[in-house]
A and B are shown apart, each in its own frame.
Chain A
Amino acid sequence: MKNLWNIADLIDLHYFFQTDEVLRQKQGESALAKRDRIIYLAKIEPQLGKADDIPPRILVRKWLAIRRLQFSQERGQEGHILPGTVWRELASLCCGLFFLAGLFTGAGLAASFLIYSGTAPLNVSSYLGVFVFLQLLFIAGQALFFLYRWTQRIPMESTVLYVLIGRLLMRGMDGLRRRLQRKITGQQRLDLAALVGGVQQRKELAVLLIWPAFILIQLGGIGFNLGVFGATLAKVVFSDIAFGWQSSLHLSASAVARLVQWIALPWSWVLPHASPSLEQIQGSQLVLKEGIAHLTTGALVSWWPFLCAAVVVYGLLPRLALLVLGLVQQQRALDKLHFATLGIRPLLQRMASPRIDTNGITEIERVATSAPSTERNADSEPAATQVEASIPEGRPWFVLIPDELYEDCPFPALTDSLSSRTGSARITYLRSGVPGASETENLAPLIATASTAKLAGVLLLQEAWQPPLRETESFLQELRRVAGNTLPLTILLIGRPTAATLFTKVDPGQLQIWRQKMRATGDPCLEVLPLVPS
């Protein structure tokens, strides 16, 4: 499935995620769940089959195509354009502009260089120096740089330019944040932290943008060489141009001829006449005090095929090769993109999990409100600190429950809810934050499982009314350390407990604070969801 995703698709995907965030704030999680489930059931399942069997990149690509279609149907008529389309159009416009700019620069430079008034022939070495060797120098420099990075196995992120710009940006943002720290309000501080976190989260996407820039430069280079080539040819055809060579050193014509043969080596087998002969070289040597009268016309015009071939071989062809390299690398970077970092997991879950909404009460609410006191009897409470739901199926999920909530937690109701949410019945409950015990001790079963099998994810039950602390962030970092960087972590928020139930709805303001705070951590595989849908 090559060429499945391109940059425009990724931009559109993030755009839709952003609009979904707004929709979530306005209408709640259930509105999103409903829409995505409908998209899946009506459009995707009939074509591609069960969600579990479809690779996420294909499933999400399909979802994106449907969202795009909906967008163009709903808002296209009002003249709204998707940012991906804007990107695509801008990119092709830029390509055209760079190519044309290169073309005109090359043609202009060559045309102004090739002015011959009949007094002195044009210097071959200047032409070669400006239009061939200078370019070669650039390309060689770039190639050496690539080669160095390749031999040192330095990834793209450590490109000097990327690192410099990235560090400057991050340091600038950090400095700004520190300077503003005392002046701005808590809300502004939170927004800023979330923004910085969001940028860090998308760091991997930024790498993708290096290749379009690379391609643009190559297009400019190709334009430049074509311009030089075209202008030289035009000048040769439509005006009288004489080329000669000169040197203050006592260079013999034969030495120059050897050098010319070396340069012409790449094309000598296909265009054997596209380089001047020894006689022609002798006939075009310019000695200023002797004037040009003694130079032969045939020798003076024998240089142009050599110069044109040099521009094509040393200027145009390397640029073409680099263009192909850029296109290939861009696609490779897209293919290598780790899909888990795109925050698509909630979307996949929304599409895959059936919606349970009988009379508007979700399963967990029903269980939690109907029989709360009997629910919490000795039978349903875990005897040990670790409870595992019975059917072992699929990858295991771990649920971390704060120590203070553990005793009151209605496990059957929670298991019901989480099974339908995760689509897995292998759920292990762990106590976290036990006073006196270190988190490593608390997480021991999780660490043990993670070392032998691959985890499906970790869910953390948290009370939304408790503001997220630095301690919470440190704990999440610790969890990342033991569970890996791409393991899905989900914070499940609950509201203030009532006498009847522990699982209450979350205040939207508090949910928002948690989301922003967690976004600020810059962890792309961490999400915040309310346990009880609003």
Chain B
Amino acid sequence: MKTQIPEFAIIGHPNEGKSSVLSTLAEDDSVRISPIPGETVVCQNFPVRIDGREIIRFIDTPGFQNPRQTLQWLQDYQGPEEQMLASFITAHQDDPAFHDDCELLGPVAAGAGIIFVVDGSRPLRHVDRAEMEILRLSGAPRMAVINCKEEDAGYLPQWQSEFRKHFNAVRLFNSCRANYRQRIELLESLKAIDQQLEPVLKTVINAFQEDWEIRNMQTATLLAALLQDILAYRRSVACGKGEEQHKRLQLHREYLDFVTAREQQAQQAIRHLFKHNIFNLELPPQSILSEDLFSKRTWEFLGLSDRQIILAGALGGAALGVGLDAATIGTSFGLFSAVGGLIGAGATALKGKELLSGVRLLGMRMGGEQLQVGPVSNIQLLYILLDRGLLFYAHVINWAHGRRDYEGMHNLMGPASGKGGFTRHWHRNQRNICDHFFRAVQKGQEGVLEEASVALQDLLRDQLQEISEDRAAAGATQGQTDGSSQDSNA
């Protein structure tokens, strides 16, 4: 390595997912990826910066175009070994047929380490052996990454045994499924390819981990602020006789709009925190007001169809274990629509449901000429919001930057996901923190609220860390947010 910043060239056969691996490793979803071979024609640097300080640099390269001829040339080469690649480039740089080969060997000649990417779902061929031999002759520190694009692992042993002959380290890495933990593991194994790289890579990994913790902390703060804003929502309007119905509708609508906008704002902030520019779980606005508002499904999710539950739903409501379906993210603000739907005209449209329950839920009071909404009196909403936030987080961090089947995103939130969120697995003391926070918001005491908010943020930060390390339990069944099971939904 010429510089202190470790450089790694991602090299391989065309169309093996080099750019995809790089996109995931560098958390950059702007890397162009396509199923057409030859998408990448020039080397492109992807520096990873933390606090403006470049800590590692990945280089995307075009695929080999003349592996056999290149190998032949290198084998016939007579000059000094350290000049071999540079001589190859000098000899071929004016030949357009060798443009890609010169381009991809450029960074290696300049001292970059090699991450050789292959698609492990296909059989090994002579050209692959030629490419491996070229890289071996280069003498650069190198690691093989088997990017198993499809679920076909039949050729894996063949690849692994061949790789052992040519590479210092071999790692399985699914660029479309890899999450934070797998990224860190890949970086860890890079340490093994060259002892000299170890200290600097250690720094890189520490920086990555620190950065991740900071992002989690920021997410926790965002979620706590979201809860505080929504739970403390309070509006009152003057209401003359006869316009009560109209005013209730208006209040209801305003409340929905507020919740929608506030939650979206928090989600966007989380998305940007995790450097997702394209992947977006934004939801269609019409579902808020139209079909989801009174949909039976929404009621079932919430367990609100039973009037008794709602009536009993004071502070202890959470203990009833009202689950949250992962699909709620898909059904958008149907939840809130339903919650809000209990007030005003919504309640009358629900026929059987009594207005009273809605009043209790949202804490709407009618005193004389005043109509008032909020603050929320049912802690259930806190858990719903929390679960939605955590689920959103889980989806965002588990969506690899190299994954581009955005149409598959909507399937993530299908109705098959089963009921339940993260919070239903929480212990009593974790719930206590939430209760404490909820009461503090209700009472609106500054000092107490501050303290409760800090406690909640700590709780959330730990929870987020658990989710990113695949340790958190979610849903009715264990391991709901486990990368693999989530992806199988997709």
Contact = CB atoms under 8 A, between A and B. Distances in A.
Please say whether chains A and B are actual partners in one complex: yes
Interface of A: 181-182, 185-187, 189-190, 402-404, 433, 435, 463, 465-471, 473-474, 496-497, 499, 509, 513
B66 A467 contact: no
A182 B126 contact: no
B426 to A, nearest CB: 47
B14 interface: yes
Contacts of A186: 32, 34, 36-39
Contacts of B63: 467
B36 A190 contact: yes
Which 9 residue pairs of A and B lie closest in terms of their CB atoms, listed nearest first? Answer: A467-B37, A186-B39, A186-B36, A470-B65, A187-B36, A467-B14, A471-B66, A186-B34, A470-B97
A499 B155 CA distance: 11
A187 B15 CA distance: 12
B97 A185 contact: no
B74 interface: no
Contact of A465 (B122, B130, B154): B122
Contacts of B428: none
A469 B36 contact: no
A402 B123 CA distance: 14
A441 B231 CA distance: 80
Contact of B66 (A190, A435, A469): A469
Contacts of B127: 466, 469, 471
Contacts of A402: 125-126
Given A187-B36, A509-B35, A513-B36, A470 B122 contact: no
Nearest to B130: A435
A433 B126 contact: yes
Interface string B99-133: 01000000000000000000000110111011000
Interface in B9-48: 13-15, 32, 34-39, 41-42
Contacts of A473: 97
B303 to A, nearest CB: 47
A403 B127 CA distance: 11
Given A186-B32, A189-B38, A471-B127, 7 more contacts: A185-B32, A403-B126, A433-B68, A467-B63, A471-B65, A474-B97, A513-B37
6 contacts: A186-B37, A190-B38, A435-B126, A467-B13, A467-B37, A497-B123
A334 to B, nearest CB: 36
B67 A185 contact: no
B69 interface: yes
Contacts of B279: none
B173 interface: no
A325 B65 CA distance: 50
A77 B37 CA distance: 43
A474 B32 CA distance: 28
B36 A474 contact: no
A404 B126 contact: yes
Nearest to B69: A471
Contacts of B32: 185-186
Contacts, number: 70
B8 interface: no
B64 interface: yes
A465 B14 CA distance: 11
Contact of B15 (A181, A185, A189, A467): A467
B34 A404 contact: no
Contacts of A187: 34, 36
A469 B42 contact: no
Contacts of A435: 68, 126, 129-130
A385 to B, nearest CB: 15
A95 B231 CA distance: 83
Interface residues of B, number: 30
A465 B152 CA distance: 14
A467 B126 contact: no
Nearest to A471: B66
A470 B100 CA distance: 9
A496 B122 contact: yes
B41 A181 contact: yes
Contacts of A190: 36, 38
B141 to A, nearest CB: 26
Contacts of A466: 125, 127
Interface in B406-464: none
Given A185-B32, A433-B126, A474-B66, A467 B38 contact: yes
Contacts of B154: 499
Contacts of B36: 185-187, 189-190, 513
A475 to B, nearest CB: 9
Contacts of A471: 65-69, 127
Contacts of B65: 469-471
B405 to A, nearest CB: 15
Nearest to A189: B38
B43 to A, nearest CB: 11
A469 B13 CA distance: 9
A48 to B, nearest CB: 44
A412 B14 CA distance: 33
A322 B153 CA distance: 72
Interface string B56-79: 000000011111110000000000
Contact of B42 (A182, A403, A467): A182
A121 B123 CA distance: 94
A435 B72 CA distance: 10
A189 B36 CA distance: 10
A466 B15 CA distance: 9
A260 to B, nearest CB: 65
Nearest to B35: A509
Contacts of B37: 186, 467-468, 513
Given A189-B38, A509-B35, A513-B36, A404 B125 contact: yes
A466 B16 CA distance: 10
A433 B128 CA distance: 13
A404 B123 CA distance: 10
A474 B64 CA distance: 14
Interface string B202-241: 0000000000000000000000000000000000000000
A185 B129 contact: no
Interface in B89-103: 97-98, 100
A513 B15 CA distance: 12
A405 to B, nearest CB: 9
A207 B36 CA distance: 34
B34 A185 contact: yes
A433 B68 CA distance: 9
Given A466-B125, A467-B14, A182 B100 contact: no
Contacts of B42: 182
**Of A190, A465, A471, which is in contact with the most chain B CB atoms at under 10 Å from its CB?**
A471
A283 B50 CA distance: 105
Contacts of B69: 471, 474
A450 B97 CA distance: 28
A186 B62 CA distance: 11
A312 to B, nearest CB: 58
A496 B152 CA distance: 11
Interface in B157-206: none
Contacts of B68: 433, 435, 471
A327 to B, nearest CB: 43
Contacts of B126: 402-404, 433, 435
Nearest to A436: B72
Contacts of B15: 467
Nearest to B98: A470
Contacts of A403: 126
A496 B130 CA distance: 20
A496 B67 CA distance: 21
A100 B213 CA distance: 84
Contacts of A469: 14, 64-67, 127
A174 to B, nearest CB: 10
Nearest to A477: B97
B450 to A, nearest CB: 52
Contacts of B125: 402, 404, 463, 466
A409 to B, nearest CB: 14
